[in-house]
Amino acid sequence: MPKMKTNSSAKKRFKVTGTGKIARSKAFKNHILTKKSKIRKKRLSQGGLVNETELPRVLRMLGM
């Protein structure tokens, strides 16, 4: 039986927290930042957690 490969894009985008949740970074913080407010950009810098509906798919990509 061959080993299961981890999805390379997923391992760069997600990290497992100490409690076992999956951390992610928020989108829309790369370019066209001049029209976005300071508060909005500050909120986008903070990370988030993967939603429970997406969790099984992300765990499968990470090989868990």
Q: Per-residue pLDDT tens for 7-56?
A: 999 999 999 999 999 999 999 999 999 999 999 999 999 999 999 999 99
Which residue spans within the chain are E strands per DSSP?
Answer: 14-16, 22-24, 48-49
What whole-number distance in Å separates Cα of residue 4 and Cα of residue 59?
12
pTM recorded for the entire structure: 0.79
Indicate the number of domains in the chain.
Answer: 1
More confident residue, 61 or 64: 61
Three-state DSSP state, 22: strand
> Which residue carries 């992300």 as its tokens?
58
The answer to whether position 2 is within a domain reads no
Range of the domain at 45: 8-27+35-61
In a domain, 3, yes or no: no
Q: What is the Cα 40 distance to its own chain's centre? A: 18
* Separation between Cα atoms, residue 62 and residue 11, nearest integer Å: 6
